[in-house]
Chains A and B, each alone.
Chain A
Amino acid sequence: AQSVTQLDSQVPVFEEAPVELRCNYSSSVSVYLFWYVQYPNQGLQLLLKYLSGSTLVKSINGFEAEFNKSQTSFHLRKPSVHISDTAEYFCAVSPLSGGSYIPTFGRGTSLIVHP
């Protein structure tokens, strides 16, 4: 079984400031790691994912996340946020083996960007 902990329920930040959204997980097996974003009144959409290889993964809109196996973390960062980044961010993991790949989601972190 897997579990995901997002340590911050809400992160307020000013526009153009850097931000880090924290995610830790626990699992008895190796996992794939995901960040999804949910804008107001929309469903979730994939932001980025780690499957294998380089532990640093990047999205097209400036976010990046680094897989740290020893700390079982997958924190999401952006060096300079925009108003349009205001959204709910969900960390998720799914097992490498077993065939089902059904993800386990965290409780979400609400990123609020102020002008």
Chain B
Amino acid sequence: EADIYQTPRYLVIGTGKKITLECSQTMGHDKMYWYQQDPGMELHLIHYSYGVNSTEKGDLSSESTVSRIRTEHFPLTLESARPSHTSQYLCASSEPGPGDTQYFGPGTRLTVL
């Protein structure tokens, strides 16, 4: 079954640690995205990719980085986590076509102490 996976689902870490949030999809989609979600706020796009070796920053300033070496894999890395990074991170991919319907992973809830 085609799907999109994120690991870990929950992560609690101390300030200054380097972390990587994993995202993989089995649908063969070229376009992938990372969003930050906080309660009562819009989803904010932090990174996106239109295919292998293509990455762009979104509309929300972020200290994270991404890579796209394989179509199915789009990890997000924080070199030095801070309490301000505490949030829910959602990964998505989209199928080609009008409007590009997005398919979301279950999210990673990150808490930085």
Contacts and interface: CB of A to CB of B under 8 A. Distances in A.
B100 interface: yes
Given A43-B90, A106-B42, A94 B99 contact: yes
A101 B42 contact: no
Interface in A77-115: 90, 94, 96, 101-108
A44 interface: yes
Q: Contact residue range for chain B?
A: 20 to 34
B92 to A, nearest CB: 8
B34 interface: no
Given A42-B106, A43-B106, A45-B104, A32 B42 contact: no
Given A42-B106, A44-B104, A105 B98 contact: no
A41 interface: yes
Interface string A19-44: 00000000000001010100001111
Contact of B98 (A4, A45, A51, A102): A51
22 contacts: A32-B98, A32-B99, A34-B99, A34-B101, A41-B106, A43-B6, A43-B90, A44-B102, A45-B103, A46-B101, A46-B102, A46-B103, A51-B99, A52-B98, A94-B99, A96-B98, A101-B99, A102-B33, A102-B58, A103-B99, A103-B100, A108-B42
Interface of A: 4, 9, 32, 34, 36, 41-46, 49, 51-52, 90, 94, 96, 101-108
Interface of B: 4, 6, 33, 40-43, 45, 48, 58, 90, 92, 94, 98-107
